[in-house]
Chain A
């Protein structure tokens, strides 16, 4: 796969450089370096997920995923699964309208809009109105960043593949909508590539050494849907599913 992509990338580079030279004259070719001449693909537009809301979207949504947790987190996850089987969701802060955090967000409950601008790829998730800014201008991560829900993302184009590295991710997040815990020292890497004009793939790898014995990896698929629009989503508008004192997701019933 990567060999194929790098070949395509190289071909595009050559075509791009030749086109650039024809359009702008040889002067600009001399002035620019060969790497910069390869224009990245244009993924600006609206995309919807394929598959379930699990970390691995090929696993049906009603199935609990297996993760290589250490003993401490396995015990916690087992409790979460046992409670869920009894109808009690106990590790789901999104019920209180908290942002889902980068890992769960990338399941993409509702569509996302990708905007490519010079030096930046922006992902706008309709669900919870979350925004990721992936800086592709060559800047490094900040030293010791303050943790945030979606972390600090930097990316670089390798041919037609976008490689993204994200650090500074807030702890106590979850991996999927079953409340699988994410751990406290999370590092996320992503490889994005297109297959044809209307399919986008994201191979996402999550390292979380205080919770997971080894990294976990999944490939997410998105389909282009430029026939739809991103809608507003404000979770606090009428949230009747707050968690109770025990942290269990509930439902506010109205009585006559």
Chain B
């Protein structure tokens, strides 16, 4: 029943260690495992451009055809607008490969690291950040 594999677990090491905590805003990010990154490929159901956090609701189809909705938490519009995001940066229906730090609980949620569009455009969570290791190139 559980999806076999939605992404490639990647060891990220030092970069994540140095920067972890910077994205923390209105609550602790302890629930997310920032030592792990997985990549989810799916279709955006909804993009919530709201405080205290943005959310990408991503529908991901597993190998058996089952579709699971993931809740991917991002920084606030305040943080993201200052690095160039807009409320229209992600739209319902967009095809995305989203890199996340998954929930430690194993539930279908995570912390947004970056999103890649089919045309190669990449949205990152911090200004000037290099694309995540392990992301589809």
Chain A residues within CB distance 8 Å of chain B:
52-53, 60-62, 83-89, 92, 94-95, 97, 109-110, 126-128, 177-179, 228, 231-235, 237-241, 249-256
Report the minimum CB–CB distance from B91 to chain A (whole Å).
Answer: 18
Given known A178-B28, A251-B109, contact A237–B81 (CB-CB < 8 A): no
Which residues of B are found within 8 Å of A177, using beta-carbon distances?
21, 24, 28
Please report whether the interface of chain B is mostly helix, strand, loop or mixed according to DSSP: loop
Give A255 to B52 CA distance when docked, in angstroms.
21
Given known A92-B27, A109-B25, contact A254–B69 (CB-CB < 8 A): yes
Report the minimum CB–CB distance from A158 to chain B (whole Å).
Answer: 34
Report the minimum CB–CB distance from B46 to chain A (whole Å).
Answer: 8
User: Cβ of B53 and Cβ of A89 under 8 Å apart?
Assistant: no
Given known A251-B103, A256-B67, contact A241–B24 (CB-CB < 8 A): no
User: Cβ of A237 and Cβ of B51 under 8 Å apart?
Assistant: yes
Report the minimum CB–CB distance from B3 to chain A (whole Å).
Answer: 13
Which residues of A are found within 8 Å of B73, using beta-carbon distances?
240-241, 251
Which residues of A are found within 8 Å of B20, using beta-carbon distances?
61-62
User: Cβ of A234 and Cβ of B105 under 8 Å apart?
Assistant: no
Which residues of A are found within 8 Å of B28, using beta-carbon distances?
84, 89, 92, 95, 177-179, 249
Q: Say yes or no for B57: interface residue by CB 8 A criterion.
A: yes
Give A253 to B106 CA distance when docked, in angstroms.
12
User: Cβ of A249 and Cβ of B31 under 8 Å apart?
Assistant: yes
Interface digits, B55-99 against A, CB 8 Å rule (1 contact, 0 not)? 101010000000111010100111101100000000000000000
Q: Say yes or no for B108: interface residue by CB 8 A criterion.
A: yes
Given known A126-B78, A233-B78, A256-B67, contact A241–B52 (CB-CB < 8 A): yes
Given contacts A95-B28, A249-B28, 12 further A-B pairs with CB under 8 A are: A53-B21, A61-B24, A87-B30, A87-B32, A87-B104, A87-B105, A126-B78, A127-B78, A231-B77, A251-B71, A252-B71, A256-B69
Give A254 to B59 CA distance when docked, in angstroms.
11
User: Cβ of B109 and Cβ of A61 under 8 Å apart?
Assistant: no
Closest to A89 in B: B28
Which residues of A are found within 8 Å of B137, using beta-carbon distances?
none
Report the minimum CB–CB distance from B29 to chain A (whole Å).
Answer: 8
Give A89 to B31 CA distance when docked, in angstroms.
7
Report the minimum CB–CB distance from A39 to chain B (whole Å).
Answer: 33
User: Cβ of B50 and Cβ of A88 under 8 Å apart?
Assistant: no
Give A136 to B52 CA distance when docked, in angstroms.
33
Give A161 to B79 CA distance when docked, in angstroms.
31
Which residues of B are found within 8 Å of A252, using beta-carbon distances?
71
Report the minimum CB–CB distance from B85 to chain A (whole Å).
Answer: 12
Which residues of A are found within 8 Å of B31, using beta-carbon distances?
87-89, 249-251
User: Cβ of A253 and Cβ of B107 under 8 Å apart?
Assistant: yes
Closest to B54 in A: A238
Given known A89-B31, A177-B28, A251-B71, contact A238–B108 (CB-CB < 8 A): no
User: Cβ of A52 and Cβ of B22 under 8 Å apart?
Assistant: yes
User: Cβ of A52 and Cβ of B30 under 8 Å apart?
Assistant: no
Q: Which of A89, A231, A239, A240 contacts B30 (CB 8 A)?
A: A89
